């Protein structure tokens, strides 16, 4: 890496870890990236590390028609797009060129045919944003046909910067909300039933409440979290996967929302897809908060037990000594900047529990 790019990488690392406005952090980092690896367009998205489905948001400079938003997620869910996030995650690759993925035959990529080429884009670099064994986001950057494809040095630099981007997305996913809600959340889940054309067949009052909290007036232009779980549910009905697709996200009001979908079929009617929206449970929120606060998988397990047991109970459940538990707790406290179990609960987890 050239001295100039090395300096840029260090500046990038400082920015990714600085106490900046997290709401603007992804775009700030992309501006910094464009100065060292020029590109004409981009698309980024945060990922739920448990399901690898989109979560809180997405940012792109590529215009998407509403129908195309649904279609792209269907392609990905049915594994029709080579080199998608899941295949890159399985292979352990963090960066790849579209031209390499398809062996120079870009017509093999439905996204190239349906999205890139119609928008005057020819070259694409894909980056999986993983850190500590978890995936927190993905980034695609593109260039027009009059520019060369991304070079090996471009790939090397993006690969070096990817952990810092992942760290920024990890912080961004649990960023403090800018608004607050005084409304009382529904006691039962909200349900939206979509037809084959993604039109709303029926919707419950509880679902309307959650869409309002989300800042949505309708689903004509769906958030990617909904289009992704719907596509995955339909693909599951056709044999692609056996787990009910779901994702977790934090709304602007601070509330954690759990979004999932399942396919509905009746002999006398056309198939439907049900989207379920409900306040996320504590045990759904806590592991994500712990990992986003840079706790390891083992530390996360211990932190979960801290909230409900004594040292002796934790030691018995983990098959380790009480002294080892205390050592692990000390490491957890230092990592998240607290001094006691009470501070760990009240300062790190409870703000999310209250919102959850």
Average pLDDT value for the chain: 86
Owner of token pair 């884009």: 121
The structure tokens listed for 63 are 């215009």
**147 Cβ partners below 8 Å, 6+ apart?**
38, 40, 122, 123
For residue 122, what pLDDT band results from cuts at 50, 70 and 90? very high
Looking at the predicted structure, is the pLDDT value of residue 38 above 70?
A: yes
Query: What distance in Å separates the CA atoms of residue 343 and residue 294, rounded to the nearest whole number?
Result: 17
Express as a percent the part of the chain with pLDDT over 90: 44
What would the mean pLDDT of 65-85 be, rounded to a whole number? Answer: 91
Type and span of the H or E element at 54? strand 54-60
Which structural domains are found in the chain, ordered by start? 3-173 (3.30.450.40), 190-280 (3.30.450.20), 283-355 (1.10.10.10)
| Angle formed at CA 295 by CA 292 and CA 296, multiple of 5 degrees | 120
Query: Does the pLDDT of residue 20 top 60, yes or no?
Result: no
Query: In this structure, are residues 121 and 62 in contact, taking their beta carbons and an 8 Å threshold?
Result: yes
pLDDT for the residue numbered 340: 85
Among 109, 106, 46, which residue's Cα sits nearest to residue 76? 109
The region of weakest confidence among 153-157, 159-163, 352-356 is 352-356
Confirm if 15 and 29 have CB atoms less than 8 A apart.
Answer: yes
The per-residue DSSP string of 170-200 comes to HHHHTPPPS----SPPPSS-EEEEE-TTS-E
- 146, 153, 136, 158: which is closest to 42 by C-alpha? 158
Global pTM reads 0.88
- The string of pLDDT tens digits covering residues 236-281 is 999 988 899 999 998 888 899 999 999 998 777 788 999 999 999 9
Confidence of residue 22 (pLDDT cuts 50, 70, 90): low
Residue with tokens 């996360």: 300
Report the phi/psi class of residue 217: left, alpha or beta, with left for phi > 0 and alpha for psi in -120 to 50.
alpha
Pair 161, 139: CB distance under 8 Å: no
Strand partners, 278: 258
Predicted confidence at residue 300, as pLDDT, reads 86
pLDDT at 42: 94
Mean pLDDT of 52-72: 86
In sign, the C-alpha dihedral spanning 330, 14, 6, 152 is positive
**E strands of 101-240, at which residues?**
123-131, 134-143, 190-194, 200-203
């Amino acid at each position: 890496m050239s001295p100039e790019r090395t300096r840029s990488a260090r500046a990038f690392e400082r920015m990714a870890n600085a106490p900046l406005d997290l709401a603007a952090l992804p775009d700030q980092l992309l501006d910094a990236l464009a100065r060292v690896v020029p590109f004409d367009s981009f698309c980024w998205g945060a990922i739920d590390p448990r399901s690898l489905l989109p979560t809180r948001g997405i940012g792109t400079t590529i215009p998407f028609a509403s129908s195309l938003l649904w279609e792209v997620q269907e392609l990905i869910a049915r594994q029709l797009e080579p080199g998608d996030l899941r295949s890159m995650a399985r292979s352990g690759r963090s960066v790849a060129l579209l031209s390499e993925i398809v062996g120079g035959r870009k017509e093999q990529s439905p996204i190239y045919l349906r999205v890139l080429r119609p928008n005057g884009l020819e070259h694409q670099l894909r980056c999986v944003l993983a850190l500590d064994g978890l995936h927190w986001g993905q980034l695609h950057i593109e260039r027009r046909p009059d520019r060369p494809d991304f070079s090996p040095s471009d790939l090397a630099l993006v690969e070096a910067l990817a952990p810092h981007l992942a760290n920024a997305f990890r912080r961004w996913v649990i960023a403090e909300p800018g608004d607050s809600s005084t409304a009382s959340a529904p006691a039962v889940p909200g349900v939206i039933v979509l037809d084959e054309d993604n039109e709303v067949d029926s919707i419950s009052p509880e679902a309307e409440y959650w869409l309002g909290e989300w800042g949505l007036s309708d689903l004509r232009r769906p958030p990617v979290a909904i289009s992704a779980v719907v596509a995955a549910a339909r693909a599951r009905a056709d044999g692609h996967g056996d787990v009910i697709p779901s994702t977790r996200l934090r709304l602007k009001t601070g509330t954690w929302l759990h979004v999932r979908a399942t396919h509905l079929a009746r002999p006398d009617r056309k198939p439907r897809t049900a989207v379920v929206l409900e306040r996320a449970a504590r045990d759904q929120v806590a592991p994500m908060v712990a990992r986003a606060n840079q706790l390891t998988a083992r530390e996360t397990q211990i932190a979960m037990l801290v909230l409900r047991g004594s040292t002796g109970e934790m030691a018995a459940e983990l098959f380790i000594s009480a002294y080892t538990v205390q050592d692990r707790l000390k490491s957890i406290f230092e990592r998240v900047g607290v001094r006691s179990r009470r501070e760990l609960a009240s300062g790190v987890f409870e703000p999310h529990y209250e919102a959850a």
